[in-house]
């Protein structure tokens, strides 16, 4: 199949962009990307799809979500973190989270993500097998992890039970092409030393990503430093031998120079969650310093309860803007760099960069068709500038995952959107009655 008449932004090593470009896919993988003229000759017998001048980018990769929390979107805003968690989120989670909540929350979240160009997400929540089943049915791609924490969770009485859930998940999905299982230890301040060490050991045994919240707030930093005699959260984790190239550190807001050096040395991957960090007043991570050291920085929305979207176009735009203003430097987080944070860096953070994250021969055919003929894209000088600085996410027209259409001309092909809205409305009625 050859997609012609488009601009292809590859996010490959050479940052190649093909105007008058084309893309050839076969059996769910990319066969070639390049100039249309050349590819049309070489693949003249392939079925042609005319993309009418639109733009193709790699599927976006959201590296930190709690997807069912989308059902709490807008239930409580503008509150101090402690009050937000203790008076709203935790009581609601305790009362509301069950299989049904998880399933319909996951589906609603996937609808928002697919319709804004995300093809892969990395999740940390509960009942994660239910999420995996829905991701599989929707034809999305997920790196999904059961949260492990020192407390009982909605689906497990203690950390050991959560660890068993992880093991079952890892076994069940080990041969799946779309689902990867991650180990999700919640954070340095909510997991004991032993639990951190044990979960990391198990993650190594199963060769999975170790996904953890790190240094999200100043309060967390202070707490760890108090408990551990002025050792920062990063040094604390490093002293436990947790940090290596398979660690995905969400947030990573409160790192000092030594911490950054440790991240570099251990090749820790960062999920930068700019919107959530701003909205909860957590702070602004020194991402320009991470990038200068060539640390892999990907982007995540966090849960929609603290964002309040699951839209990676928003994340890319806000990240690029905030670091420029905060550092008084318009040259940091350039548009090309931020697009890579939303694509290939996300793939690297999830150890999937051989398979996804760019439009390159041999990779999975996960890509997004973006409408060019939009008021906010007019005039059209630079496709990357338009995508990062002028977009809203509503420009997404169609989405392919594994070469299959999951979203076509703004219609879902694998999810029954009306049914999801109906079930979500039932759940949200219950939530409304509790706040």
Asked if 413 touches a second copy (CB under 8 A), the answer is no
Interactions with a second copy, residue window 195-234 (CB under 8 A) = 218
SS3 170: helix
Helices within 267-311 (DSSP H only): 274-279, 287-292
Asked if 65 touches a second copy (CB under 8 A), the answer is no
| Cβ-based nearer residue to a second copy, 67 or 181 | 67
Asked if 409 touches a second copy (CB under 8 A), the answer is no
CB of 415 to a second copy, least distance (A): 11
Asked if 432 touches a second copy (CB under 8 A), the answer is yes
Asked if 84 touches a second copy (CB under 8 A), the answer is yes
CB of 38 to a second copy, least distance (A): 24
292 vs 139: CA distance, rounded Å: 36
Single out the residue of 400, 412, 382, 407 nearest to residue 57, CA to CA.
400
Taking CA atoms, 213 is separated from 113, 221, 250, 348, in Å, by 22, 12, 5, 18
SS3 305: helix
Asked if 341 touches a second copy (CB under 8 A), the answer is no
Asked if 278 touches a second copy (CB under 8 A), the answer is yes
**158 Cβ contact partners less than 8 Å away, ≥ 6 residues apart:** 152
Q: For residue 157, how many other CB atoms are within 10 A of its CB? A: 10
Binding mask 306-325 for a second copy (x = CB under 8 A): -xxx-x--x---x--xx-xx
Asked if 40 touches a second copy (CB under 8 A), the answer is no
Asked if 78 touches a second copy (CB under 8 A), the answer is yes
- Exactly one of 275, 343, 345, 351 binds a second copy (CB under 8 A); that residue is 275
Tell me which stretch binds a second copy (CB under 8 A): 86-94, 291-299, 364-372, 388-396.
Answer: 388-396
SS3 149: coil
Q: Contact 118/312 with Cβ under 8 angstroms?
A: yes
- Exactly one of 281, 292, 354, 416 binds a second copy (CB under 8 A); that residue is 281
- Exactly one of 229, 331, 362, 409 binds a second copy (CB under 8 A); that residue is 331
52-55 own/partner pairs: CB under 8 Å, 24+ apart: 52/5, 52/6, 53/5, 53/6, 53/7, 53/372, 53/373, 54/6, 54/7, 54/369, 54/370, 54/371, 54/372, 54/397, 55/6, 55/7, 55/8, 55/9, 55/369, 55/370, 55/371, 55/372, 55/383, 55/387
Q: Contact 125/68 with Cβ under 8 angstroms?
A: yes
Asked if 284 touches a second copy (CB under 8 A), the answer is yes
| Cβ-based nearer residue to a second copy, 107 or 202 | 107
Asked if 71 touches a second copy (CB under 8 A), the answer is yes
Tell me which stretch binds a second copy (CB under 8 A): 230-238, 264-272, 292-300, 421-429.
Answer: 421-429
Which tokens belong to 330?
């318009």
Pairing of β 55-58 and β 2-9: parallel
**Size of interface with a second copy, in residues (CB under 8 A):** 68
Asked if 386 touches a second copy (CB under 8 A), the answer is yes
CB of 348 to a second copy, least distance (A): 22
Orientation of helix 417-434 relative to helix 99-115, angle to 10° = 120
Residues that bind a second copy (CB under 8 A): 71, 73-75, 77-81, 84, 108, 111-112, 115, 218, 274-275, 277-284, 304, 307-309, 311, 314, 318, 321-322, 324-331, 334-335, 373, 375-376, 378-382, 385-386, 389-390, 392-394, 417, 421, 424-425, 427-428, 431-432, 435
């Amino acid at each position: 199949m050859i997609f012609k008449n488009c601009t292809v932004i590859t996010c490959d090593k050479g940052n190649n962009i093909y105007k008058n470009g084309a893309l050839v896919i076969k059996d769910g993988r990319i066969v070639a990307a390049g100039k249309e003229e050349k590819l049309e000759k070489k693949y003249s017998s392939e079925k042609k799809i005319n993309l009418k001048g639109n733009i193709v980018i790699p599927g976006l990769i959201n590296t930190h979500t709690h997807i069912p929390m989308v059902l709490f979107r807008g239930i409580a805003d503008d509150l101090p973190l402690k009050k937000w968690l203790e008076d709203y989120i935790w009581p609601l989670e305790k009362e509301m989270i069950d299989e049904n909540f998880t399933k319909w929350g996951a589906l609603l979240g996937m609808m928002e993500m697919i319709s804004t160009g995300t093809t892969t997400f990395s999740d940390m929540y509960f009942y994660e097998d239910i999420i995996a089943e829905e991701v599989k049915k929707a034809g999305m791609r997920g790196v999904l992890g059961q949260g492990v924490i020192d407390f009982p969770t909605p689906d497990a009485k203690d950390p050991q039970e959560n660890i068993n859930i992880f093991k079952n998940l890892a076994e069940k999905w080990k041969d799946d092409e779309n689902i990867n299982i991650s180990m999700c230890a919640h954070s340095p301040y909510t997991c004991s030393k032993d639990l951190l060490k044990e979960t990391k050991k198990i993650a190594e045994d199963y060769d999975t990503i170790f996904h953890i919240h790190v240094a999200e707030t100043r309060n967390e930093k202070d707490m760890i430093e108090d408990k551990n005699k002025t050792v920062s959260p990063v040094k604390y984790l490093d002293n436990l031998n947790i940090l290596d190239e398979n660690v995905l550190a969400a947030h990573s807001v409160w790192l000092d120079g030594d911490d950054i050096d440790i991240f570099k040395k251990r090749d820790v991957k960062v999920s930068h969650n700019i919107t959530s960090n701003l909205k909860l007043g957590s702070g602004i991570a020194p991402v320009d310093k991470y990038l200068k050291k060539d640390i892999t920085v990907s982007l995540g929305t966090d849960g929609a309860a603290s964002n309040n979207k699951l839209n990676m176009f928003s994340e890319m735009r806000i990240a690029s803007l905030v670091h420029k203003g905060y550092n008084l430097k318009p040259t940091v987080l350039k548009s090309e760099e931020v697009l890579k944070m939303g694509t290939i860096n996300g793939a690297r953070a999830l150890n999937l960069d051989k398979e996804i994250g760019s439009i390159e021969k041999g990779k999975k055919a996960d890509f997004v068709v973006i409408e060019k003929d939009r008021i906010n894209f007019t005039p059209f000088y630079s496709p990357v500038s338009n995508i990062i600085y002028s977009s809203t996410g509503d420009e997404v027209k169609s989405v392919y995952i594994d070469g299959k259409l999951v979203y076509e001309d703004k219609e879902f092909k694998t999810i029954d959107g009306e049914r999801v809205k109906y079930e979500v409305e039932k759940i949200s009625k219950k939530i409304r009655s509790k706040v």
